[in-house]
Amino acid sequence: MIKVVFFDLDDTIADTTRLAEMARKNAIENMIRHGMPVDFDTAYNELLELINEYGSNFPRHFDYLLRRLDLRYNPKWVAAGVIAYHNTKFAYLREVRHVRKTLLKLREMGLRLGIITDGDPIKQWEKILRLDLDDFFEHVVISDFEGVKKPHPKIFQKALRIFGVKAQEAVMVGDRLYSDIYGAKSVGMHTVWFRYGKYANREEEYREYADHEITDLLDVLKIIEVLNSGKDDSNKKVHADR
């Protein structure tokens, strides 16, 4: 009997990849508009390289961009980048298609809901609150707050303990085969791989850990119905695809 459904946040609940790309492009455009003497492609590619090396949570992207482009430091350009980045992030933050419908339906079906996500706790909460989705979730488990990251079993075990349920009573839905699916499976949860965004065709070496694969979140409802009716034949699906 499934009692709890856990969701990953980025690119499962919040449409983050598309948003980040748009925000970065607008940042570069605004820096150039305020006098940064570089063409768009050079600056944008340099920014992508930088993010690749330093990670997307590095707080000094625009400073470092100027250094990499051999430009003198100019707080005006950095401010122009920051403004455009934030404006875009606030204006274009969207939930993934069918999120709200799915969550609402799951709650109507009596399921309890949680989020298990990596990332900066304040930034992750900011997305949940800005999307007005917090009332759907009983608990949000954020790895940087707990001190352990997905796919480490501890973060999933912690989530199970918080809800007071067994692994086989929980489903994990996420876009990352490695951190979400492999991680949740390793503690014994049911797993649903949401093939969406830039990881839709990546990390396939962990595909065997996905009990189900979906491209529309509403399909979570059917999976739960089947699991709770006792007619689960889901494992066949994954192997049939290979």
What does the buried/exposed string (b/e) look like for 1-19 if buried means 16 or more CB atoms within 10 Å of the residue's CB?
ebbbbbbbbbbbbbbbeeb
What does the buried/exposed string (b/e) look like for 60-92 if buried means 16 or more CB atoms within 10 Å of the residue's CB?
ebbebbbeeeeeeeeeebbebbbebbeebbeee
Question: Which is closer to its own copies, CB of 86 or CB of 237?
Answer: 86
Pairing of strands 139-142, 190-194: unpaired
Q: What are phi and psi of 131, to 5 degrees?
A: -85, -5
* Least distance between its own copies and beta carbon 129 (Å): 6
* Host H or E run for residue 174: strand 170-174
Instruction: List the one residue from 129, 138, 164, 202 that touches its own copies (CB under 8 A).
Output: 129
Q: Does 121 bind its own copies (CB under 8 A)?
A: yes
* Least distance between its own copies and beta carbon 117 (Å): 11
Instruction: Return the residues of window 1-40 that contact its own copies according to CB under 8 A.
Output: 34
HSE-CB of 216 using CA atoms within 13 angstroms: 6
Q: Does 124 bind its own copies (CB under 8 A)?
A: yes
Question: Which is closer to its own copies, CB of 6 or CB of 182?
Answer: 6
Q: Does 139 bind its own copies (CB under 8 A)?
A: no
Instruction: List the one residue from 51, 69, 71, 82 that touches its own copies (CB under 8 A).
Output: 82
Dig out the tokens for 205 from the structure.
């070496």
Q: Does 130 bind its own copies (CB under 8 A)?
A: yes
* Least distance between its own copies and beta carbon 177 (Å): 27
Q: Does 78 bind its own copies (CB under 8 A)?
A: yes
Q: Please give the DSSP secondary-structure letter assigned to residue 10.
A: B
Pairing of strands 112-117, 170-174: unpaired
Instruction: List the one residue from 80, 111, 181, 217 that touches its own copies (CB under 8 A).
Output: 80
Q: Does 123 bind its own copies (CB under 8 A)?
A: yes
Q: Does 67 bind its own copies (CB under 8 A)?
A: no
> CA 82 to CA 60: how far, in whole Å?
10
Q: Does 146 bind its own copies (CB under 8 A)?
A: no
Residues that bind its own copies (CB under 8 A): 34, 75-76, 78-80, 82-83, 86-87, 90, 121-126, 128-130, 134, 140, 142, 145
